[in-house]
Amino acid sequence: MLSADRAGLPLGRRPGKPGTVYLVGAGPGDPELLTLRAAALLPQADVIVFDHLVAPAILDMAREGAERIYAGKQRGNHALPQQDLNLLLVRLAREGKVVVRLKGGDPYTFGRGGEEVAALFQHGVPFEVVPGVTAAAGVAAYAGIPLTHRAYSQACVFVTGHLQDGSMGLDWPALARPRQTVVIYMGLLGLPTLCRELMSHGLPPDWPAAIVMQGTTAQQRTVSGTLATLPGLADAAKLKAPTLIIVGEVVRLRQQLTWFEAPPDDEAIS
């Protein structure tokens, strides 16, 4: 049962307010993973500003006549530079519109949501942040890989596969530790570097690792192996973005816990 806000309305049914920007997480792909609040706001929006990874079925939930503005970002191909996008959100809100800024996954997890909200705050624009199921949680669950497990992992670390300057300058000693799970967003192109650096900083070549393409969708494909073998396996499988990489002993459990895809037929991990 939904709880109520101070106005007595269920939280999932609060009306969108004109002149407000709603930063909404669209989840990792499967439209059924939307939150109730996200699903309630989409039909109320005058304008939807959406990212590359938002599923078409989610956009179909918008009302007929709502303006749709594509603001997707792919590696080396940004429909709108971030500064221009920030100012667009400000302008739309000042025109008195209900604006839904729809972002894949969770807006505050490698989604530049913090930058956009900071710009709204600086310009005095009202905003609300609607969390979404981030890729690490959603994709790992659909791939049959728990992020933590008492026998294997007591910590979980999320990192991005490329920094603002395009490099992969991560804290390798902190990532190359036992009894933790490392989840890498946007790391497909850097996969060979990732595996090489983790091994050079102490993890063994047979350390379990997996990569998931288009997780939670009908096109999901998971390839698992080890730090030594995963780059070659991923290359042979011709995987394409979006992908999520999971490194840690929890990957061993995929053989038992897979439920969304067919049983694993890639490299077994002893």
| pLDDT > 90 fraction of the chain, expressed in percent and rounded | 83
Give the model's confidence band at 216: pLDDT under 50 very low, under 70 low, under 90 confident, else very high: very high
Mean pLDDT to the nearest integer, 86-106: 97
| pLDDT at position 85 over 80 | yes
* Predicted local confidence at residue 218, as pLDDT: 95
| pLDDT at position 166 over 80 | no
Give the model's confidence band at 1: pLDDT under 50 very low, under 70 low, under 90 confident, else very high: very low
Just list the catalytic residues: 51, 73
* Residue in this structure with the two tokens 């497990």, named with its chain if needed: 149
Sheet holding 98-103, edge to edge: 67-70, 47-50, 98-103, 20-25, 127-130
| Residue 54: closest CA among 45, 19, 11 | 45
Q: Please name the CATH architecture into which domain 13-130 falls.
A: 3-Layer(aba) Sandwich (3.40)
| pLDDT at position 269 over 70 | no
Mean pLDDT to the nearest integer, 145-159: 97
d(CA 217, CA 214): 6
What are the boundaries of each domain within the chain?
Answer: 13-130, 135-257
Instruction: Encode pLDDT of 231-254 as tens digits.
Output: 999 999 999 999 999 999 999 999
Instruction: Encode pLDDT of 121-149 as tens digits.
Output: 999 999 999 999 999 999 999 999 999 99
| pLDDT at position 256 over 50 | yes
d(CA 155, CA 55): 31
| Residue 212: closest CA among 193, 189, 185, 232 | 185
* Predicted local confidence at residue 263, as pLDDT: 76
Mean pLDDT to the nearest integer, 100-111: 96
Residues 152, 252: contact at Cβ < 8 Å? Answer: yes
Topology of the domain comprising 135-257: 3.30.950
